[in-house]
Amino acid sequence: LNVQIELIQLIQGECIFKEFIDAGKEGLHHFGIYVEDVDVLIKKYKEKGYDVVHEGLTAGVQKVAYIDTYEDFGVYIEFQQTKKRKKRIKA
C-alpha cells in the first residue's frame, strides 16, 4: 500500500482550499486517487449529480479534477491522471 500525505498551507489567493476554510470546515479535505482517464470519471460523477469544483493540470503535466462529494462522504475526491500504460502482449 502506497500512501501520500499532502500538507497544504494557504498563503494567498482564491482556491478550493480557501473556500473550504472560509466555510468553517477543517480537517481532511480530500482523498486523491490516481486514474488513467480523468474525463471518464468527471462524466460519471456529473451524471450522478456531483459538481466539479476544480479542474486543471499538475505541474503542467497531468490532468487533475476535484469532485464535490463532501455532503455524502465528508471529503472531496481528487482524481489525478496517470500516464496511460500500453498493454503488454504476452508471447
Tens-digit pLDDT profile for residues 15-70: 888 888 888 888 888 999 989 999 999 999 999 999 999 998 877 668 999 999 99
What spatial distance separates the first Cα and last Cα of the chain, rounded to whole Å? 30
Task: Label the pairing between strands 62-67 and 76-81.
Answer: antiparallel
35/4: higher pLDDT:
35
- How many residues belong to the chain? 91
Identify which of 15, 19, 80, 9 has the alpha carbon closest to the alpha carbon of residue 54: 15
| pLDDT tier, 86 (very low <50, low <70, confident <90, very high otherwise) | low
The CATH number for 27-81, chosen from 3.30.470.10, 3.40.30.10, 3.40.50.2300, 3.10.180.10, is 3.10.180.10
